Each structure stands twice: as structure tokens, then as C-alpha cells.
Chain A
Amino acid sequence: GESVGLHLPTLSVQEGDNSIINCAYSNSASDYFIWYKQESGKGPQFIIDIRSNMDKRQGQRVTVLLNKTVKHLSLQIAATQPGDSAVYFCAENIDQAGTALIFGKGTTLSVSS
């Protein structure tokens, strides 16, 4: 599968590969994180979230990993499909503080068949 250690604006993979999208968050006080998928011309779609008391959370074909030590978040997509092609954003905020989400830089995932 394709993986990157640092945030890259684009990621190209073959159908069936595993994809890893990385995100560095900014605020060490943030304790709630969400990954969104945004298709062209549409609003962000919720994929998966994780709280800071967890290191890993799994959904359907997706896994989010959180490393609080280095303020790093990753989204793993298993068996990537053409329909996964989109821009992926991570977002952070501070639980219970009433603050809004702050979005990171997006990564454009392109899946070729």
C-alpha cells in the first residue's frame, strides 16, 4: 500500500491498495478529531472521529490513528476504491470548550483502476 510520512497535498494509488493520509494538528490542547471526505462540488462528509483518550479507532474500511506525542493523525483506507477519490481533511477542536472545528490542509486522493 501507499503511505506517506508527512502531509502531502496529493496521493495517487491503485485500486485495491491501502492508502494512508497524514495530518499534523496544531493545538496540543485539542482532544477531538474528525476526518472528512469532500467530493468535488459537495460539502465535507463525516468519515470517522477519535477522542484523545484513544490511539486508534476503526470503521468500515477506515482506521484513524492518533499520536498525541507528535500531534499527528492518520487515516488509513483499506482496499481503496475509485469511489474513494476525493479531498480528505482532518479537523480538530477542544471538547467541551464550545470551539468550532479547525481544518487542516486537505489531501487529494486519486484512485486509478
Chain B
Amino acid sequence: EAEVAQSPRYKITEKSQAVAFWCDPISGHATLYWYRQILGQGPELLVQFQDESVVDDSQLPKDRFSAERLKGVDSTLKIQPAELGDSAMYLCASSKHGSGNTIYFGEGSWLTVV
């Protein structure tokens, strides 16, 4: 069964350092999402891509977060500089195209900022 791949699974970084997460969606899925999930809460959208274009990044803290999907396949989410409040799980998800199609999540990348 195809899966959304994410790496690294766990990352510990010091505040003010840079950190990056990588996601490879299910093959053929045009829509890719990055969500952030704080412990005990539901996932919240950071950014949504349709192919290589950003569809929604209204909730992305653009002063420190950036995301790209240059070739419309895999994607990278970067945080620079990391802050203590960024400690969370970063989830990547994908779907065939747009809404109304099943959205599948990866296993997530746990970030701890110390």
C-alpha cells in the first residue's frame, strides 16, 4: 500500500537553529499539505500545494517558516530560526487533487526545540 513518506521522524534542535522536514507524497497525488499538530490538539494546516503552486499559506508564519515543492512531487518545510513554541509534530498529507478526495497522512516528524 502506498504511503506518504516523511523524514526525519524525530528532530531535536536548539532554538535559533534551522530545521528542515521532507515529504514524499503518494505517487500521482497532486495536492500536498503540511499540518502542524501540538500535543493534545488536532492538526492545523500550515500550507497547501496544488502541484508546485501554493494554494493556501495563510496560516504559515512566513517570517520563519518556508515551504517549497519545486517539481510538484516532494516537498520541504523549513523553519529558521526555530523557537521553543515550534515544538510539535509536523504532518505531511496528500490527495489526488483538491478537496473531496481522501487525504492520506504520513507518520509525521516530531520536532523538539530546546
Interface SS majority for chain A: loop
Closest to B59 in A: A100
* B19 within 8 Å of A (CB atoms): no
Q: Which residues of A contact B105 (CB under 8 A)?
A: 36, 43-46
Q: Beyond A34-B102, A34-B103, A43-B106, is A98–B42 a contact (Cβ under 8 Å)?
A: no
* A42 within 8 Å of B (CB atoms): yes
Inter-subunit contact A42/B108 (CB<8 Å): yes
| Chain B residues touching A, range | 20 to 34
* B70 within 8 Å of A (CB atoms): no
Q: Which residues of B contact A94 (CB under 8 A)?
A: 99
Chain B residues close to A by CB (< 8 Å): 4, 6, 33, 41-45, 48, 50, 55-56, 91, 93, 98-100, 102-108, 110
Which 6 A-B pairs have CB atoms at the shortest separation, nearest pair first? A103-B42, A95-B100, A43-B105, A100-B45, A93-B99, A44-B105
